[in-house]
């Protein structure tokens, strides 16, 4: 007879492909209406309100900080109860934040809206989706995680033109309200209808120490710290490049049209690399995906120093590395620490990652203002090279652990 606290998914209740498609589409919506919102809306907001550009952009930084603060709690909730209600609640909070932003007539109200948005981001973005898949499918979650990142790679490709179209017809406030309605109708209601409700059965633990399950053994703490550092530096690079790439390209002598054209390489390169990893990834340990990721990102950073003629190759190489890095972000902790602890640990890992994403654009802007293109590229290469060194240590520890096992 089944134990009352072991709730499983009946066969055929919800096909895995439908769950993955739902989570993938939610990632497009979540990223496109939060992290990728201000690149399109910032200027219209400034022109309409008269608020300073940096104050408008500070909303995203506040949102990412709020997301980092709530992420550990989000991970624990998903570990205990599954992701169905958590994801629905995240969509509801994002919708609330967007409504507040849309109705803001003063800067404090606008920033308060971004704090609400950030709380929703902490329960909506990749970390929450990955934790949900880990709770649902355990060690078999690698494929679904990779598939969800394929969808997420199209967030800017889908939402930037959609946002730009809406701005021209209903203004920036109308854009926020439209996204809020979509979050309520699709994200919130869709999560409740499609995502299975499941609390994974806790595996048996020696001496009945079930309460210690989410923790780390002394020998695992260094490995966890390295994973956290690698993911944090990777997030810093993502935010730095995302916020400064166009500026760096123009500063190197390219026109705005040429810079935007080169920037469009990122999406196809990232999705292409993720597609290859999705097809081949099951054949090797996720540490190899992380090794390939940081190596490609570092090579891409180095190629920028070759001058404008190498920019296309540099961007494609960087984007490919960052693309598969998103997969490794979800699959490597799952492989190293197991499915029982994965949701809670994923929440802990998200805290420094989102903090880094909130601060990196300002660090990049300061670097560019102080030393121009060369200084910013040097900073980028230094972070990327540091990550290669950290992943090398992590690779040795992982290999030793697998050999011992």
Span 321-364, pLDDT tens digits: 998 998 888 888 888 888 888 888 888 888 888 889 888 887 88
Same fold? 16-194, 217-404: yes
DSSP 380-395: HHHHHHHHHHHHHHHH
pLDDT, position 350: 84
322-356 burial string, b = 16+ CB within 10 Å, else e?
Answer: bbbbbbbbbbbbbbbbebbbbbbbbbbbbbbbbbb
Comparing 125 with 264, the larger pLDDT belongs to 125
pLDDT, position 9: 44
> Which tens digits make up the pLDDT trace of 191-246?
999 988 764 444 433 344 344 445 677 778 889 999 999 999 999 998 888 778 87
Domain ranges of the chain: 16-194, 217-404
Comparing 82 with 2, the larger pLDDT belongs to 82
pLDDT, position 200: 45
Distance of CA 131 to the CA centre of its chain: 12
pLDDT, position 10: 44
Note the CATH number of domain 16-194.
1.20.1250.20
What superfamily in CATH does domain 217-404 come from? MFS general substrate transporter like domains (1.20.1250.20)
Token pair of 187 as six digits: 């994200």
Q: pTM for the full model?
A: 0.77
Burial class for 10, CB neighbours closer than 10 Å (0-12, 13-18, 19+): exposed
Token pair of 140 as six digits: 């078999």
Task: List CB contacts of 199: < 8 A, sequence separation 6 or more.
Answer: 5, 7, 80, 81, 82, 135
pLDDT, position 153: 80
Ranges 106-110, 157-161, 327-331, most confident: 106-110
Task: List CB contacts of 224: < 8 A, sequence separation 6 or more.
Answer: 216, 337, 345
The pLDDT of 28-57, averaged and rounded, is 88
Question: 135, 79 in Cβ contact below 8 A?
Answer: yes
pLDDT exceeding 70 applies to what percent of the chain?
90
By mean pLDDT, which of 27-31, 189-193, 267-271, 343-347 is the weakest? 343-347
pLDDT, position 255: 86
pLDDT, position 339: 82
Comparing 246 with 397, the larger pLDDT belongs to 397
How many other C-beta atoms lie within 10 A of the C-beta of residue 253? 10
């Amino acid at each position: 007879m089944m134990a009352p606290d072991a709730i499983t998914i009946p066969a055929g209740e919800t096909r895995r492909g439908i769950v993955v498609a739902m989570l993938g589409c939610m990632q497009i919506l979540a990223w496109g209406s939060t992290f990728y919102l201000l690149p399109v809306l910032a200027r219209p907001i400034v022109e309409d309100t008269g608020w300073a550009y940096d104050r408008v952009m500070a909303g995203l930084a506040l949102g990412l900080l709020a997301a980092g603060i709530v992420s550990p709690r989000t991970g624990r909730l998903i570990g205990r109860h599954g992701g169905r209600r958590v994801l629905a609640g995240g969509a509801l909070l994002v919708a609330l934040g967007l409504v507040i932003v849309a109705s803001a007539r003063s800067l404090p109200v606008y920033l308060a809206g971004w704090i609400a948005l950030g709380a929703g981001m902490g329960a909506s973005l990749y970390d929450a989706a990955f934790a949900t898949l880990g709770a649902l499918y355990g060690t078999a979650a690698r494929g679904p995680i990779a598939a969800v990142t394929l969808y997420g790679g199209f967030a800017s490709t889908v939402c930037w033109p959609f946002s730009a179209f809406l701005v021209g017809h209903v203004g920036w406030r109308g854009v926020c309200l439209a996204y809020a309605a979509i979050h309520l109708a699709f994200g919130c209601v869709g999560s409740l209808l499609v995502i299975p409700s499941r609390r994974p059965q806790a595996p048996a633990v020696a001496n009945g120490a079930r309460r210690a399950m989410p923790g780390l053994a002394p020998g695992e703490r260094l490995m966890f710290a390295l994973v956290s550092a690698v993911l944090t530096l990777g997030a810093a690079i993502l935010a730095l490049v995302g916020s400064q790439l166009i500026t760096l390209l123009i500063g190197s002598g390219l026109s705005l049209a040429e810079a935007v054209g080169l920037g469009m390489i990122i999406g196809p390169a990232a999705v292409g690399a993720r597609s290859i990893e999705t097809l081949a990834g099951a054949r090797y340990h996720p540490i190899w995906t992380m090794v390939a990721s940081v190596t490609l990102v570092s090579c891409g950073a180095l190629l920028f120093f070759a001058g404008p003629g190498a920019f296309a190759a540099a961007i494609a190489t960087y984007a490919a590395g960052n693309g598969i890095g998103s997969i490794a972000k979800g699959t490597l902790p799952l492989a190293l620490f197991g499915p029982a602890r994965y949701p809670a640990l994923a929440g802990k890992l998200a805290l420094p990652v989102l903090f880094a994403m909130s601060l990196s654009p300002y660090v990049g802007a300061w670097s560019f203002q102080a030393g121009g293109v060369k200084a910013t590229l040097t900073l980028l290469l230094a972070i990327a090279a540091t990550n290669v060194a950290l992943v090398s240590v992590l690779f040795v520890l992982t290999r030793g652990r697998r050999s011992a096992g």
